[in-house]
Amino acid sequence: MDPSKPIAILGGGIAGLSLAHRLHARGRPFVLFEAAADLGGMSRTLRYGAFGVDTGAHRFHDKDPEITAWAGELLRGAWKQNHKRSAIVARRRFIDFPLSPLNVLANVPFTRGVRYVWDFLRRPKLEPDNFRDHALSRFGASLAEDFVLQYSRKLWGVPLERLSLELGTGRLKNLSLFVVLKEMFLGERRKNEHLDGSFYYPTGGYGKIVEALLRDLPAEALKPGQRVTKLERLARGFRVSTDRETLECPVVVGALPLTRLLEMNDWTEPELKSRAASLKHRHLVAVFVTLNKPEVSPHASLYIPDERFPVTRVHEPKQRCPTLAPADQTSLLAEVPLDDATAAKTATRAPALEKIRTDTVRQLSEAGLYEPGEVIESHVHIVPNAYPCITLDAIPVRRAAVEGLERQPGFYCLGRSARFEYTHLHQIFRESFTLAEKLAEGKPVAQAVR
């Protein structure tokens, strides 16, 4: 591999940018292509007057001390650790999430609470291989249905017996008979080790991470507004074609959706491309509502399981960083999941998007989060390819697709979209660092799907 020739990075989201940052720090040239006009993908922070909002409910989890330390240095210390819990919105009440037995029982009708306890004690003893059975075996039928299953049906849009254990099982831990008895008789609340319990957040919004990465990168190596259209093999390396230029390079790192990488290359077998068309993402319509009230709740995120409301998750930006709203006002970002077909139609039809916006503003009020008269204004945007929908059927297809791409020497898949995995930012940074170190040293990289 000629170290003087640039590595092509396809995709200017957080995975592509973090790889570029690490390569540049090691003196390795790169060129990064991104179809959108703005870099950062789903990790940007938008401004609406005095209000700021991330394009999603992002948090940085302190699960890799080395990565956490690096990120703190990147941000020059401009972030804080946040210990605010999340909650479930049910019957106009906030119920602790992760679930706490006594807190649940204190916030539901007596007869429903009795049913929860009965079903919990009689829950099936399963060795689950799918998301639904895992939830039933952890919580029992009624508690699982009210707080996990109906929410997950909205979020993923597929029968939950088809959903892989990769999705969300970490959210279902720490509820056991021992925990119930400990709370009831000792009055102890378990130590919260859940991802929703503690996280770091940059001052001024999650987009500050993107800004910090871009601060250190050469502008001439960044190519926003260029959509990659074709990827061809050469005798040594690749030819990358965009709608503006062509680049020959020894190494290509794909940080675009896996299905898109398969479509544009000339070495994946047609049969595999056809199989991979079954891989689906969930897209989001994000509805941002500014409010003339100082606070909605003290929680980091709010989850709405009730299937009468299409909204799944809501977060209040100022609960992550107080500078994202005026002191006497606040805002909410609500997420409405869409499947591939609906997202494609909605993105091109302004009336459909407008209806989701107005319906969501009304439904959030009906859920008890604010009064209609407290709304100042609202905005809406689409977040494409927000979550890979990892069904049991998708796992072997994903494996074959990634292996088919990486079978070509010098091509690598990086990040959530390209590997079709549900990963967090600290994991993406770790993957980027590992790949960048190997590429900078000119060593072969072990290519394997986890």
* Identity at 438, one-letter amino acid code: K
Asked if residue 380 is part of any domain, the answer here is yes
Please give the radius of gyration of the chain, using alpha carbons only, rounded to the nearest integer. Answer: 23
Backbone angles phi, psi at 138, to 5 degrees: -85, -40
* Chosen domain end from 347, 370, 388: 388
User: What are the Cα distances from residue 63, in Å, to 13, 71, 171, 203, 296?
Assistant: 21, 12, 15, 20, 29
Same domain, residue pair 197 and 313: yes
Asked if residue 450 is part of any domain, the answer here is no
Q: Other CB atoms closer than 10 Å to residue 162's CB: what's the count?
A: 16
Same domain, residue pair 198 and 292: yes
Q: Which domain holds residue 403?
A: 7-41+208-279+391-441
Asked if residue 113 is part of any domain, the answer here is yes
**Predicted pLDDT of residue 126:** 80
Same domain, residue pair 157 and 83: no
Asked if 236 and 250 count as a contact pair (C-beta separation under 8 A), the reply is yes
| Domains: count for the chain | 3
Q: Is 298 helix (H, G, I), strand (E, B) or coil?
A: coil
State the Cα–Cα distance between residues 403 and 247, nearest whole angstrom: 24
State the Cα–Cα distance between residues 42 and 53, nearest whole angstrom: 12
* Chosen domain end from 157, 190, 223: 190
Asked if residue 51 is part of any domain, the answer here is no
Mention every residue, 6+ apart, whose C-beta is less than 8 A from residue 121: 140, 177
Tell me the CATH number at 261: 3.50.50.60
State the Cα–Cα distance between residues 100 and 397, nearest whole angstrom: 38
State the Cα–Cα distance between residues 418 and 400, nearest whole angstrom: 13
Burial annotation 273-296 (CB, 10 A radius, 16+ → b, else e): eebbeebbbbbbbbbbbbbeeeeb
* Chosen domain end from 129, 162, 190: 190
State the Cα–Cα distance between residues 208 and 396, nearest whole angstrom: 37
Same domain, residue pair 217 and 289: no
DSSP 186-203: H-PPPP--STTT-EEEET
Same domain, residue pair 198 and 317: yes
What residue ranges in 163-293 does DSSP mark as E strands? 199-202, 222-224, 228-234, 237-242, 246-249, 252-254, 281-291
Token pair of 243, please? 């709608």
- The dihedral over CA atoms of 84, 381, 284, 290, expressed in degrees to the nearest 10, equals 30
Same domain, residue pair 76 and 201: yes
Same domain, residue pair 271 and 418: yes
Asked if 138 and 175 count as a contact pair (C-beta separation under 8 A), the reply is yes
Tell me the CATH number at 338: 3.90.660.20
Tens-level pLDDT at each residue, the chain (450 residues): 677 899 999 999 999 999 999 999 999 999 999 999 999 999 999 999 999 999 877 899 999 999 999 999 999 999 999 998 899 999 899 999 888 888 898 999 999 999 999 999 999 888 889 999 999 998 899 999 999 999 999 999 999 999 998 876 555 555 554 455 455 445 555 544 444 568 999 999 999 999 999 999 999 999 999 999 999 999 999 999 999 999 999 999 999 999 999 999 999 999 999 999 999 999 999 999 999 999 999 999 999 999 999 999 999 999 999 999 999 999 999 999 998 878 777 766 788 899 999 999 999 999 999 999 999 999 999 999 999 999 999 999 999 999 999 999 999 999 999 999 989 999 999 999 999 999 988 765 544 333
State the Cα–Cα distance between residues 93 and 368, nearest whole angstrom: 8
Same domain, residue pair 245 and 342: no
Same domain, residue pair 382 and 290: yes
State the Cα–Cα distance between residues 103 and 97, nearest whole angstrom: 10
Instruction: Name residue 12's beta-bridge partners.
Output: none
Categorise residue 81: left if φ over 0, alpha if ψ from -120 to 50, beta otherwise. Answer: beta
Same domain, residue pair 427 and 308: no
Same domain, residue pair 111 and 184: yes
Mention every residue, 6+ apart, whose C-beta is less than 8 A from residue 403: 447, 449
Asked if residue 15 is part of any domain, the answer here is yes
Asked if residue 49 is part of any domain, the answer here is no
**Predicted pLDDT of residue 265:** 96
Mention every residue, 6+ apart, whose C-beta is less than 8 A from residue 358: none
Asked if residue 130 is part of any domain, the answer here is yes
Backbone angles phi, psi at 298, to 5 degrees: -90, 15
Same domain, residue pair 293 and 351: yes
Q: What is the pTM of this model?
A: 0.91
User: What are the Cα distances from residue 148, in Å, to 89, 136, 141?
Assistant: 12, 9, 10
Asked if residue 76 is part of any domain, the answer here is yes
